[in-house]
Amino acid sequence: MAVRNSRVLHRSLRETPPKVIGGEGVWLIAEDGRRVLDASGGAAVSCLGHQHPRVLAAMAKQASKIAYAHTAFFSSEPAEALADHLVGHEPGGLAYAYFVSGGSEAIEATIKLARQYFVERGEPQRQHFIARRQSYHGNTLGALAAGGNAWRRAPYAPLLSSAFSHVTPAFAYHEKRDDESESDFVARLATELEAEFQRLGPEKVAAFIAEPVVGATAGAVTAPEGYFRRVREICNRHGALLILDEVMCGMGRTGTTHAWEQEGISPDIQAIAKGLGGGYQPIGAMLASGKIIETIRRGSGAFQHGHTYLAHPMACAAALEVQRVIGEETLLDHVKELGRHLERRLTERFGNHRHVGDIRGRGLFQAIELVEDRATRKPFDPALKLNHKIKAAAFEGGLACYPAGGTVDGRSGDHVLLAPPYIATRDHLDTIVERLGAAVDGALKSINQ
Minimum gap (Å) between residue 277 Cβ and ligand PLP: 10
Among the residue ranges 4-12, 51-59, 99-107, 347-355, the one whose residues contact ligand PLP (CB under 6 A): 99-107
Site string for ligand PLP, 51-90 (x = CB under 6 A): ----------------------------------------
Residue 296 or 315 with smaller CB distance to ligand PLP: 315
Residue closest to 338 by CA, chosen among 56, 27, 52, 26: 26
Q: Number of residues in contact with ligand PLP, rule: CB under 6 A?
A: 16
Residue 136 or 164 with smaller CB distance to ligand PLP: 136
Interface with ligand PLP in residues 210-239 (CB under 6 A):
211, 215-216
Vertex 351, ends 25 and 409: CA angle to 5°?
A: 85
Residue 43 or 150 with smaller CB distance to ligand PLP: 43
Residue 107 interacts with ligand PLP (CB under 6 A): yes or no? yes
* Burial degree of 330 (CB within 10 A; 0-12, 13-18, 19+): exposed
Among the residue ranges 135-143, 363-371, 406-414, 417-425, the one whose residues contact ligand PLP (CB under 6 A): 135-143
Site string for ligand PLP, 383-422 (x = CB under 6 A): ----------------------------------------
Which of 25, 49, 138, 413 forms a contact with ligand PLP (CB under 6 A)? 138
Residue 276 or 393 with smaller CB distance to ligand PLP: 276
| DSSP reduced 3-state for 223 | coil
Question: 83-94: b or e for each residue (b if 16 or more CB lie within 10 Å)?
Answer: bebbbeeebbeb
Q: CA separation (Å) from 240 to 130, 134, 268?
A: 10, 22, 10
User: What span, in angstroms and rounded, lies between the C-alpha atoms of 274 and 216?
Assistant: 13
What DSSP letter does each residue of 141-210 carry, written as one string?
A: HHHHHH---HHHHGGGGGGS-TTEEEE----HHHHS-TT--HHHHHHHHHHHHHHHHHHH-GGGEEEEEE
Contact 43, 248 (CB under 8 A): yes
Which of 43, 81, 163, 190 forms a contact with ligand PLP (CB under 6 A)? 43
Rg, C-alpha atoms of the chain: 22
H or E element: which one contains 431? helix 426-446
Contact 249, 215 (CB under 8 A): yes
Minimum gap (Å) between residue 323 Cβ and ligand PLP: 17
Minimum gap (Å) between residue 406 Cβ and ligand PLP: 14
Which of 40, 46, 76, 104 forms a contact with ligand PLP (CB under 6 A)? 104
* Burial degree of 6 (CB within 10 A; 0-12, 13-18, 19+): exposed
DSSP 385: -
Which of 172, 273, 310, 325 forms a contact with ligand PLP (CB under 6 A)? 273
Which of 49, 78, 103, 169 forms a contact with ligand PLP (CB under 6 A)? 103
Residue 273 or 390 with smaller CB distance to ligand PLP: 273
User: What span, in angstroms and rounded, lies between the C-alpha atoms of 82 and 190?
Assistant: 36
Amino acid in position 278: G
Among the residue ranges 7-15, 100-108, 186-194, 355-363, the one whose residues contact ligand PLP (CB under 6 A): 100-108
Give how far the C-alpha of residue 244 lies from the chain's centroid of Cα atoms, to the nearest Å.
10
Residue 136 interacts with ligand PLP (CB under 6 A): yes or no? yes
Residue 136 or 171 with smaller CB distance to ligand PLP: 136
Which of 102, 212, 255, 277 forms a contact with ligand PLP (CB under 6 A)? 102
Q: Footprint of ligand PLP on this chain (CB under 6 A)?
A: 43, 102-104, 107, 136-138, 211, 215-216, 245, 247-248, 273, 284
